[in-house]
Amino acid sequence: HAILAAKLDMRDKAYEMYLRTARLDLDDYNNDTEDGCHITSMAGTWMAVVKGFGGMRVFDERLHFAPYIPEGWSSYSFKVRFRGHFLQISVRQSGIAIRNRSPESLSVLVYGQECLLPADQTVELNLKTA
């Protein structure tokens, strides 16, 4: 739900859904944390950040990003491997940094614009605001 809400630019709802997933075991919503952690909840939390707030999608064989920062956050970062390329994405108030830690260049789209990520380099971009 967080990913869909983020995609629909319902940022408050996206954050609410993210918190439900992230806090499931921390707040013991289901009264069953003593039996172990919910792995699917952990995965859902990661997906809410990466695919929701980070706006990461694969479309037409290409990697796309459309990140934003949830209200009250100053930054977040994540790592992904895409077709052999290892990327580190940092989203801050000052902008977006994408580091291509691979030996080959990769072209991605950020907010629909082509962005070439040279091998073993970092590209800095402006953060689009709502």
| C-beta neighbour count of 120 within 10 angstroms | 12
Which string of DSSP letters, residue by residue, matches 67-83? ----TT--EEEEEEEET
Could you report the per-residue pLDDT of 16-47, keeping only the tens digit for each? 887 777 766 665 555 555 565 555 566 678 88
Could you report the per-residue pLDDT of 57-84, keeping only the tens digit for each? 999 999 999 999 999 999 999 999 999 9
Domain extent listing, the chain: 1-53, 55-130
In percent, the amount of the chain with pLDDT more than 90 equals 56
pTM over 0.85: no
- Spatial distance between the Cα atoms of 24 and 101, rounded to a whole number of angstroms: 34
Query: Which residue is listed with tokens 């992904």?
Result: 80
Query: Which residue is listed with tokens 């499931």?
Result: 24
Give all strands of the β-sheet with 121-125 in edge-to-edge order.
75-82, 85-92, 95-100, 121-125
CATH architecture of the domain 55-130 equals Sandwich (2.60)
